């Protein structure tokens, strides 16, 4: 007989059979989550290595162009897009892990806690049948900006300014620094204005996107939002 209701399925199993099923599922979701977390770290490492290499090379000689540090912003932005997509996959598997940890493992370790709802099982079963991303692409970009990339962008620009100040000769005059910021015939004023606009945009994305998607776009595992609020600060 085909059972479509998770609660009916559970009633047909012994507690050992049910625990075995969820234990194996938990191990599988942990492995998936770990794999995608490793991919997240790899992308971040690419960005850090690239920035480190460009900084080392650019500062090694006064004659080396400062433009490379600006171009690293473009490449780092590309890595941000790749990493945000990977974060969406990581979130998909991690949300299931948190559902099992909170609603199955935690209650198993505390038998005195009363089971008030099996809604999480129905939501989890629905998600297994129809898996989809739990956060939008813009939410993922906002998350990675706040936790990683806004700091990389800031470091890159600060070191770019340092390059302008000390090379080819150290100066403390703002007009000289602005003049040195010229890129391919584009005046330093325009370059600085573009950088200011760039930072305004990423700050808006980092701070406002979570509010725009406050309610989330959830078709399954409705409890995931509170899980994300818990581990969002740790990633």
For the chain, the structural domain boundaries read: 6-234
- With cut-offs at 50, 70 and 90, classify the pLDDT of residue 205: very high
Structure confidence at residue 195 (pLDDT): 94
Q: What's the average model confidence in pLDDT over 71-83?
A: 92
Among 144, 95, 145, 149, CA closest to 123: 95
With 60 as the cut, is the pLDDT of residue 200 above it? yes
Using an 8 Å Cβ cutoff, are 33 and 27 in contact? Answer: no
Tell me how far apart the alpha carbons of residues 59 and 235 are, in angstroms, rounded to a whole number.
32
235 C-beta neighbours (distance < 10 Å), count: 15
38-47, 125-134, 176-185, 224-233: least confident range: 224-233
Which of 51-55, 149-153, 207-211, 217-221 is predicted most confidently?
Answer: 149-153
The pTM of this model reads 0.77
Percent helix, strand, coil in the chain, to 5, is 75, 0, 25
CA max distance for the chain: 82
Tens of pLDDT along 103-140? Answer: 777 777 776 666 556 777 888 888 888 888 888 899 99
Handedness of CA 53, 54, 55, 61 (dihedral sign): positive
By the 10 Å C-beta count (0-12 exposed, 13-18 middle, 19+ buried), 112 is classed as exposed
Integer Cα distance of 8 and 162 in angstroms: 66
């Amino acid at each position: 007989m085909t059972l479509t209701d998770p609660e009916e399925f559970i009633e047909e199993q012994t507690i050992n059979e049910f625990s075995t099923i969820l234990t194996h599922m938990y191990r599988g979701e942990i492995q998936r989550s770990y794999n995608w977390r490793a991919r997240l770290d790899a992308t971040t490492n690419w960005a850090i290595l690239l920035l480190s290499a460009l900084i080392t090379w650019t500062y090694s000689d006064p004659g080396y162009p400062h433009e490379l540090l600006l171009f690293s912003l473009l490449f780092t932005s590309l890595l941000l897009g790749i990493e945000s997509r990977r974060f969406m996959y990581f979130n998909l598997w991690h949300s299931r892990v948190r559902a099992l940890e909170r609603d199955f493992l935690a209650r198993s370790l505390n038998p005195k806690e009363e089971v008030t709802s099996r809604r999480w099982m129905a939501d989890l079963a629905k998600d297994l049948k129809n898996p989809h991303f739990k956060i939008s692409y813009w939410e993922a970009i906002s998350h990675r900006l706040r936790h990683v990339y806004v700091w990389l962008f800031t470091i890159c620009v600060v070191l770019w300014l340092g390059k302008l100040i000390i090379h080819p000769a150290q100066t403390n005059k703002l007009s000289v620094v602005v003049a040195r910021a010229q890129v391919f015939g584009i005046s330093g004023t325009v370059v600085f204005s573009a950088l200011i606009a760039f930072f305004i945009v990423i700050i808006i994305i980092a701070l406002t996107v979570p509010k725009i998607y406050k309610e989330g776009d959830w078709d399954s595992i409705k409890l995931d939002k509170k899980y994300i609020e818990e581990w969002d600060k740790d990633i």
